[in-house]
Amino acid sequence: MIPRLKSLNCLASAGELLVSVDPKVRVRLADPTGRVLALFHLLRDGTRRVAELTAELRTGWPETTAADVAAAVAELDRMGWIEPSGMPSSFDEVEQQRYSSNLAFFDTFSSLSRSSEDTQAKLRSSHVLVLGAGGLGSAVLMNLAGLGVGALTVVDQDLVALPNFARQFTYVPEDIGQPKAERVAAWLRAFDPALTVNSYQQRIETPADVTAFLSGDEAAGPVDFVVSAIDEPDAVDRWVNASCVAAGVPFVRGGLAYTQGLYWSVDPGRSACRAC
């Protein structure tokens, strides 16, 4: 695999480098001989393997070994500054264009072992259950679809009503009186015909109601993640928690309290849960 240095800011001064990828974080690297900066320059175009990098660095620093360069590349990769170069795309032209902004963002988190396309492909193979299609739930569904999640299941008990139009943008006046779950599903399918979308007009009343959705179906597969955007009945947070923790499915709960947005998440087996 050919390493390439990501786009970063690098200032060289008095035998050290000041490097940043994220403007909020700067790293100082000692570079008394200039060899690290030279390595950065050689890595920028992503055309050289370790052996070739070593050969070019030896012209200025004869003591350089392939082990030195391999160790340096591995450390840069650990720091998140390296990505693979010259890898064939697994996406067709339409996918590359549709997800271009996502892929550019995922580059921040890519490494030699995980490309930005790997992250997008993981999302494309994921199934998210969204409980509630009101102000929060409908917005989350829009963003999940744009993010490229491949399967979405939406559950909501309500009908579209005129007051919804202040902040629920998946609905239009012609939808008034129709089930929200059905109408938001229609919006999602129109937005991305490749999406697998399931919708249910249903009220969550027990942990078993949540559990029933977690196994998914043949088209969507089992649920990988749950977004809880409902706030009634009063016990619903405990029900979602009990169901998801028992099944080992992570979830996030969000809502609005006057002027404050609130959210918390549970990753079963790794984090505290609602019962804690």
The pLDDT value recorded for residue 225 is 98
Contact by Cβ (8 Å): 130, 229: yes
The model's pTM is 0.89
| Strand (E) or helix (H) holding 50 | helix 50-58
In the chain, which stretches have pLDDT less than 70? none
Crossing angle (nearest 10°) for helices 35-43 and 50-58: 140
The most distant pair of C-alpha atoms in the chain lies apart, rounded to whole Å, by 77
Nearest one of 4, 172, 183 to 83, comparing CA atoms = 4
Tens digit of each residue's pLDDT (9 = 90 or more) over 14-71: 899 999 988 888 999 999 999 999 999 999 999 999 999 999 999 999 999 999 999 9
Q: What is the pLDDT of residue 56?
A: 97
Domains and CATH numbers, the chain: 2-85 (3.90.930), 125-266 (3.40.50.720)
Residues 69, 54 contacting (CB under 8 angstroms): yes
What is the predicted pLDDT for the residue at 256?
84
pLDDT in tens, 163-177: 999 999 999 999 999
Measured CA to CA in angstroms, residue 8 lies from 17, 19, 21, 60, 167 at distances of 12, 7, 5, 24, 38
Sign of CA dihedral 10, 12, 18, 24: negative
Tokens at 181, concatenated: 């779950």
The per-residue pLDDT for 96 is 93
Report how far apart, in Å, the C-alpha atoms of 204 and of each of 27, 64, 132, 223 are.
49, 65, 10, 17
pLDDT in the model for residue 203: 96
Give one DSSP letter per residue of 142-203, joined into a string: HHHHHHT-SEEEEEE--B--GGGGGT-TT--GGGTTSBHHHHHHHHHHHH-TT-EEEEEE--
